[in-house]
Structure 1
Amino acid sequence: MDRVTDVAAAMESTVESLLGVLESARLAQSPAVPPAQLRVLTIISRGPHTNMSRLAEALDVVPSSASRLCDRLEATGLLRRVPD
């Protein structure tokens, strides 16, 4: 019976370690892009010279909201804004 208990304890420890590794890998995905920001990146990838007005129109938001989304993306290094 001790052998079965030892095997079960070893398996439990292994599973816990594997779950820890998987969770670390999930958290390490950098950056985690929220859906609204992902939409911005998708729109811009289709038209790299999209200005803020066109982006806001495509997102169906006001330009200031589109600008804030772009600010967040720029802060993470996923987007670079340039003057029109």
Structure 2
Amino acid sequence: MRKVAAALSRRVGPVAIGYAATASPRISDVVAATPGRVAVASWLLAPGLFHRAVARSGADVVAAPIGAHPRVVEAVLLRYYEARRFQDVA
């Protein structure tokens, strides 16, 4: 997360990391402590409990879950095929 935040901050300005689940800082605390308009770019895959927490964080803009983006699907399938290949050998 830190590497991605650093890369994004080089393009758009300061980026803070917040979490929707058990890690800290909580996303709502980060949003509350950030002056001005706040946009949240979420790495969640699907709507649900965690996305609702992000949506209720108080941010001005919240990205939708990544969902079935082709690159996500490709990464999941690659992991699946790698696991099957290992299982077939073992």
TM-score by length of 1: 0.28
TM-score by length of 2: 0.27
Greater fraction helix: 1
Q: Which is higher, the Rg of structure 1 or of structure 2?
A: 1
